Amino acid sequence: MDTDKRKILSALCHGAIFFSVTILSVGIPIAILFLTDDSVVKDNAKESLNFHINIYIYGIIFGILIWLLIGFPLLVLLGIVNFVMPIIAILNVMNDPNQPYSYPFIFRLL
C-alpha cells in the first residue's frame, strides 16, 4: 500500500474521536477495518476501536462515581486523555507509518 494512503487511513482511524463522540467515532474505524487490506491500517483501526470502547466504559464508570464525588476529577482527567492520546497516536502514525500505534493502559477487546 502507498505510504501516504496508509498515513491518511491510520490517522483517520485515530482522529475519528474528534469528529463526534457518538457512533461516528466508532463507525469510521470499523469501516476502514473492513474496507482495507493493509495489515498496518487494520491494526491501527483495531487499536483505535479499543481506545474508543475503553473511553466509553471509563466514562460510564466515572459518571457513576460522581455520586461519591470522585467522579468529577476522574471525568476531567478522562477528557484530557481523550484529547491528548489520539493526537499522540496521529503524530506517531505520521512519523512511522509502517508501525501500528499501541495506546498505553487500555484493555484490548479486539
pLDDT digits (tens, 9 = 90+) for 33-82: 999 999 999 999 999 999 999 999 999 999 999 999 899 999 999 999 99
Q: What is the pTM of this model?
A: 0.90
Q: Phi first, then psi: give them for residue 102, nearest 5 degrees.
A: -125, 120
- The share of the chain scoring above pLDDT 70, in percent, equals 98
How does DSSP assign 34-89, residue by residue? HH---HHHHHHHHHHHHHHHHHHHHHHHHHHGGGGT-HHHHHHHHHHHHHHHHHHH
Is pLDDT above 80 for 2?
yes
Q: Give the mean pLDDT of the chain.
A: 92
Contact between 95 and 39 (Cβ < 8 Å): no
Check residue 16 and report its DSSP letter: G
